[in-house]
Amino acid sequence: MNDTAQRFPETAHITGIGLTPFGKNLGMSALELQGVASFAALDDAGITARDLDTVIAGYATTIQHLMPANLLAEYIGAKPNKAFGMSIGGATGIGMVAEAARLVRRGEAETVLVVGGENRSSGQSRDTAISTLAQVGHSTHEVALGANIPAYYALLASEYLHRHGRAREDFAHLAVQMRGHASTHPGAQFTKPSTVADVLAAPAVAEPLGLLDCCPVSDGGAAFVISNRTDSGRGVAITGTGQANRHQHISEADFRDFGARESSQQALDEAGIGLSDIDVLGVYDSFTVTLAILLEEIGFAAPGTAGEMAKAGEFSACGRYPLNLHGGLLSYGHSGVAGGMAHLVEVVTQIRGEAGARQLVDRPRRGFLHADGGVLSAHVSLVVDSAPEFQQRTTEVSE
């Protein structure tokens, strides 16, 4: 550290958002989905691709390109100074946003495009998708035994139900809540309301998880513009970020401390707030058990009570913690990296007051996001805020 002090923006802002509908066979390649989402985000921010100085792109299993950001930049006509890809599973989308915020806050970038998208349902066979995603497991102790992603999460679900003395019905309430939220979003893959009985009667995928406990495989794309500008009051400030990586393989995991608590506390501490200050949530929900574990480890629900809280309406639009108001991965859909990004699109839309029929009666100020990658392996958290005091403040950073 030297005596030279520079003034950098204290907080980066999300000034543009883009999201495609999610579903099966949307008729676009992964690159096309990324492009559609990117142009939507650029239009929302009021800029063009030539205004970007940095592009960050997530991996896509249907492309397998070594340089995803360069590929996307060329496709949309951008000529960024910096371009790089990221791959931390389902946490990639929020991780890219956190990295973009860091670059902007440090003065190393001014206008960053973050993008993810994949034709995961139509661009590969079912067997290819299963085998590709299964690789998050241990190559000799798990994958070789025929394990796959639902099987890994089924182990978590069995342990959870046993430890807390709960039944599958607890998970079902979470699935029902997500479907209810998706029913009001025109871009969601599944909009028909479901009941607890529907969830319990659905075909088994990996005991104790049934079909409606599992997210679908989808096509879709999402993008953000992260900037040092405030965009005339529509920019939403990124005020806290956190990350934790405790394990890669489920056989090495601590089932009582996956890393979500550490990641979220970092973000909350940086933002200078507590859980009680949060108005709207976007929490990763690849499986119902994923959502239950994350809500409880972070602290929005006491151990073993996430299902009860969902049943009581605590995560509904009228509840204490409105959660995944677009329907989450379980019902809006899951198209790889873009799946987790859709949670942030919804939170930003709610904070802006632009959610239409889904808009909360009391427009939220602060939102909390959390995503995990692998089998609860990688954790990234964000706090976003519309508060005007965050719009202009700067900080002294000594180097």
Give residue-wise pLDDT tens across range 229-287: 876 668 899 999 999 999 999 888 899 999 999 999 999 999 999 999 999 999 999 99
DSSP state of 278: -
> With 90 as the cut, is the pLDDT of residue 127 above it?
no
Least Cα distance to 22 among 221, 171, 162, 168 occurs for 221
- Helix %, strand %, coil % of the chain (to 5): 40, 20, 40
CA distance 132 to 63: 12
Label residue 142 by pLDDT band (50, 70, 90).
confident
pLDDT the model gives residue 10: 62
Mean pLDDT of the chain: 92
Task: Enter the tokens of residue 364.
Answer: 């939220």
Pure H helices in the chain: 30-45, 68-76, 92-105, 126-133, 149-164, 168-182, 196-201, 260-271, 288-298, 306-311, 328-331, 337-352, 389-392
Mean pLDDT score, 2-29: 79
Q: Dump the DSSP string for 22-48.
A: -BS--S--HHHHHHHHHHHHHHHHT--
DSSP 323: B
Percent of the chain with pLDDT over 90: 84
Query: How much of the chain, in percent, has pLDDT values that exceed 70?
Result: 93
Q: For 366-384, write each residue's pLDDT tens digit.
A: 999 999 999 999 999 999 9
- For the domain spanning 5-127+216-398, the CATH number is 3.40.47.10
Q: DSSP secondary-structure letter at 365?
A: S
pLDDT at 135: 82
- The rounded distance, in Å, linking the Cα atoms of 367 and 335 is 23
Rounded to an integer, what distance in angstroms lies between the CA atom of residue 142 and that of residue 42? Answer: 42
Q: Which two tokens stand for residue 304?
A: 């073993």
Q: What is the pLDDT of residue 399?
A: 41
Interval 23-63: pLDDT, tens: 998 999 999 999 999 999 999 999 999 999 999 999 999 99
pTM to 2 decimals? 0.93
Q: What is the pLDDT of residue 8?
A: 54
pLDDT in the model for residue 139: 85
Average pLDDT over residues 198-226: 97
Task: Starting at the earlier edge strand, list the strands of the sheet with 219-227.
Answer: 82-86, 54-58, 111-119, 219-227, 12-19, 236-245, 378-385, 366-373, 280-283
| Residue 160 banded pLDDT, cuts 50, 70, 90 | very high
- Provide the pLDDT for residue 396: 38
Instruction: Please tell me the predicted confidence (pLDDT) of residue 250.
Output: 87
Mean pLDDT on 86-108: 97
Determine the pLDDT at residue 4.
35
